[in-house]
Amino acid sequence: MSDDSEMAPGLETGNDFDVFRDAEGRINVLWLERLRAFLDADRAEDVALVMEPLHASDIGDVLEQLHAGERLALVRSLADKFDFSALTEVDESIRLDIMEALPNADIARGVAELDNDDAVYLLEDLEQEDRDEILSALPTFERLALKRSLDFPEDSAGRRMQTEFIAIPPFWTVGQVIDYLRAEKDLPDEFYQLYVVDAGYTVLGTLPLDKFLRTPRATKIDEIMTTSFVLVKADEDQEEAARSFERYDLVEVGVVDESGRLVGVLTIDDIVDVIHEEADEDIKLLAGVGDEDVSDSTMDTVKSRVPWLVINLFTAVMVSFVIGLFNATIEQMVALAVLMPIVASMGGNAGAQTMTVTVRALSMRELDGRRVRRLIRREMVVGVVNGVIFAVLIGIVTALRYGDLQLGIVIGIAMVINMIVAGTFGILIPLTLDKLKADPAIASAVFVTTVTDVIGFFAFLGIAGLWFGLF
């Protein structure tokens, strides 16, 4: 009764090459070897046979497991049977590799079969020239719908939306709608609600299918439609739309243009991807990696990481100049050089903790008015409390290690100062970036660690210099 065997009926004969996924949900190595053998031997019929039961996302996973050459061989072997929606499930670099290698005519044929939102997803990253050639090979209606979606800004609701939806007039009865649904052949693949519109396609109400199903045939639509519905604007950012979905537990939402006309719908499966991307973006920005996938090439990876490392080199050199100010002090007491990274490292970690909580709260829009003031207060108190705890700990360790109580006191004082600084800047830096309309995730880490490094080294070496009269 496992999910995967259910997706591929008949493939439950044991742990051999007929089973697509192993118990841990990974693609079965034997299955993959057999596919490879079929591809090598050009046995197109066998390839089609083993690929046939797979869902688009499974095909995507298979593509990611294959070498670049095998991927193309698979797509070519399947030819007309290749479901292009599988390409929406693979990393961008793989998608572009495959699409660049295929003739535009083949892509046009594949794209014509897709829902509008999947088609846009495949086309938006292509070169203008290729995109135009593919568009011009499509039927007029599809071409116009795709062009309209592509005209909306990147990452907007309009880009992500599906332009197929079911709009009905308010004066129909439930029976009329059911008859219409049964007769009409050109319906969206999947839909979760009906849109009640006037002649100008302004939304008057929505009707979830479950509510619709519970209602007798004779009932008029406008008697049962929901009038307190959510709509998103086509030029709205997809992350804003995602927040509406989460806030109101939506499964589908109508998308309207600037004049309020219903032009498409967003469904939850697109939004799940957006939520994932958004969280992923926060994590990666905090660590200083760009929009990077595991399948990116070595050169792309280097390019994505160098800028962040350059900034870090710059700040590290700056910090080292701060240490350089205390050359003479260190010369007289080498123990300071040995101990100073402890103060900086603790501050850096405490700062990262505060910063991470703040960045996540900002990106989930959890920080308004009162909560900001409360959070600042809390983080400063946490800084003081943790500062005192770790001042005592490191003070004792240091005093014992060097048999020098005064050195323990000095490092303790520096620790308290740096932990309070860490808490304060850990929250103020992302808040300030947010106020300046910058993404708080991107630059907070470098600012925060620079501050805790500078203050950590400066406080420790400075206080030690004064205390022991080393200046």
- Residues between 149 and 188 that touch a copy of itself (CB under 8 A): 178, 181-182, 187-188
Termini Cα distance of the chain: 75
Q: Would you say 194 and 212 are in contact if contact means Cβ atoms under 8 Å apart?
A: yes
276 binds a copy of itself (CB under 8 A): yes
Separation of alpha carbons 343 and 154, rounded Å: 44
Contacting a copy of itself (CB under 8 A), which of 171, 248, 467, 471?
Answer: 248
Closest CB to a copy of itself among 134 and 458?
Answer: 458
Q: Would you say 235 and 258 are in contact if contact means Cβ atoms under 8 Å apart?
A: yes
Minimum CB–partner distance for residue 467 and a copy of itself (Å): 19
Neighbours of 335 (CB within 10 A): 15
Contacting a copy of itself (CB under 8 A), which of 96, 112, 150, 230?
Answer: 230
15 binds a copy of itself (CB under 8 A): no
Q: Would you say 62 and 74 are in contact if contact means Cβ atoms under 8 Å apart?
A: yes
Q: Would you say 135 and 147 are in contact if contact means Cβ atoms under 8 Å apart?
A: yes
Site string for a copy of itself, 407-446 (x = CB under 8 A): ----------------------------------------
**In this structure, is the dihedral angle defined by the CA atoms of residues 89, 90, 92 and 96, taken in order, positive or negative?**
negative
- Contact region for a copy of itself (CB under 8 A) — 106-114, 120-128, 146-154, 237-245? 237-245
466 binds a copy of itself (CB under 8 A): no
1 binds a copy of itself (CB under 8 A): yes
Q: Would you say 389 and 416 are in contact if contact means Cβ atoms under 8 Å apart?
A: no
Alpha carbons within 13 A on the beta-carbon side of 326: 25
Q: Restricting to residues 346-385, which ones interact with a copy of itself according to CB under 8 A?
A: 346, 349-350, 352-353, 355-358, 360-361, 364-371, 375, 378-379, 381-382, 385
Q: What tokens appear for 63 in the block?
A: 């593509």
Backbone angles phi, psi at 213, to 5 degrees: -70, -25
Q: Restricting to residues 21-50, which ones interact with a copy of itself according to CB under 8 A?
A: 25-27, 29
Q: Are strands 193-197 and 262-267 parallel, antiparallel or unpaired?
A: unpaired
Closest CB to a copy of itself among 137 and 311?
Answer: 311
Phi-psi region at 54: left, alpha or beta (left = phi > 0; alpha = psi -120 to 50):
beta
233 binds a copy of itself (CB under 8 A): yes
Site string for a copy of itself, 87-126 (x = CB under 8 A): ----------------------------------------
Site string for a copy of itself, 301-320 (x = CB under 8 A): xx--xx-xxx-xx--xx-xx
